[in-house]
Amino acid sequence: MKADAQGNFTGKQLVIFGCGYVGVEVARQAMARGLRVTALTRNPLKAAELEKLGVTSVVADLADTDWHTQVPGTPDFALNCVSSGGGGIEGYRRSYVEGMRSIRQWSERHGRPGTLVYTSSTSVYPQGDGVHVDELAATGADAGERPAALLDAERLAQEIGQRSFILRLAGIYGPGRHYLLEQVSSGEVAGRGDHRLNLAYRDDIAAAIWAVLAASPAIAGGIYNVADDGAATKGEVVAWLAQRMGLPEPHFTGQPAGGRRTVTPDRVIVNERLKRELGWRPGYPTFREGYAEILRAL
């Protein structure tokens, strides 16, 4: 985000739907920038954390409608960063598709947000075989049921805001997320070591969100990939972590991580459009900077 854009947010209204790992960090930064923030979450503990930041919290399931009268209409900005509530593909579609449909209904009754941002996923791309994947790459049925649900949510998102941005996030990691570290410690890592691991650090995702919120009015919206510059193989990442943790290199199972049906495809997610059009740059350009920060905090 441009340095001179920070003051432009003072006094503006931001609504965050599905305020979890990424959303709480955005809410914290939003309060520091002088915005008025309302956040919706399923988790009462998360709501209490948000209230301590000065955020107005609403505890509700996004797919329901009982929150519609508790969230201010016509906000300057709205962010939907909901995650799946579990329950298989039905739960996935409830969180993403029915949740977005509920936002659309709320906006029709109470006023559309000026700018809507939806954090989707690079899992909507089915490509593998080491190809470079930008926003023009094909998406569709080949990606599977879950990515198809995300694409349905993306289409709904583009109908809601006066302008709408879709951010397709690579694998989210950052403070407090130790899943890969735990696998390295166990000696067994899911997936394949020769596949590239596309990552996005939490704070860089937040920076991408601010970049689109601060975008010139001439930019009517769009789709942007959010990933770091690394494109290292998972084997490189795991070997580096094992060395830093003083552990022997673990072996790869070749099987999907828990909850996934397939191993993540081997490809490089390209972030050039976000850099070129909005001036975003990752503060954690490779896994080394990000995981070094995580390891320091342990």
Helices (H), the chain: 21-32, 44-52, 88-93, 99-110, 145-157, 179-186, 202-213, 234-245, 272-278, 287-296
Q: At residue 256, what are phi and psi to the nearest 5 degrees?
A: -60, 155
Dist. CA 38–CA 182, nearest whole Å:
34
Are 198 and 143 a contacting pair, CB within 8 Å?
Answer: no
Residue 45 contacts by C-beta under 8 Å, 6 or more apart in sequence? none
* 292 part of a folded domain: no
Residue 7 falls within a domain, yes or no? yes
Res 5: pLDDT: 43
Residues in the chain, overall count: 298
pLDDT, residue 2, reads: 40
pLDDT value, residue 90: 95
Nearest alpha carbon to residue 15 among 87, 102, 74, 98: 74
Q: What CATH number has the domain bearing residue 215?
A: 3.40.50.720
pLDDT beneath 70, residues of the chain = 1-7, 141-143, 259
Instruction: Please tell me the distance from the alpha carbon of residue 118 to that of residue 104, in angstroms, as a whole number.
Output: 13
Q: Does residue 152 belong to any structural domain of this protein?
A: yes
For the chain, how many structural domains are there in total? 1
Residue 67 sits in which domain range?
3-175+199-229+270-282
pLDDT score, position 56: 99
Residue 218 belongs to some domain of the structure: yes
Q: What is the pLDDT of residue 263?
A: 84
Domain for residue 48, yes or no?
A: yes
| Amino acid 7: pLDDT | 45
Inside any domain, residue 107: yes
Look at residue 287 and tell me if it is in a domain: no
Q: To 10 degrees, what angle do helices 202-213 and 21-32 make?
A: 50
Is there a domain that residue 41 lies in? yes
Tokens 């094992």 belong to residue? 242
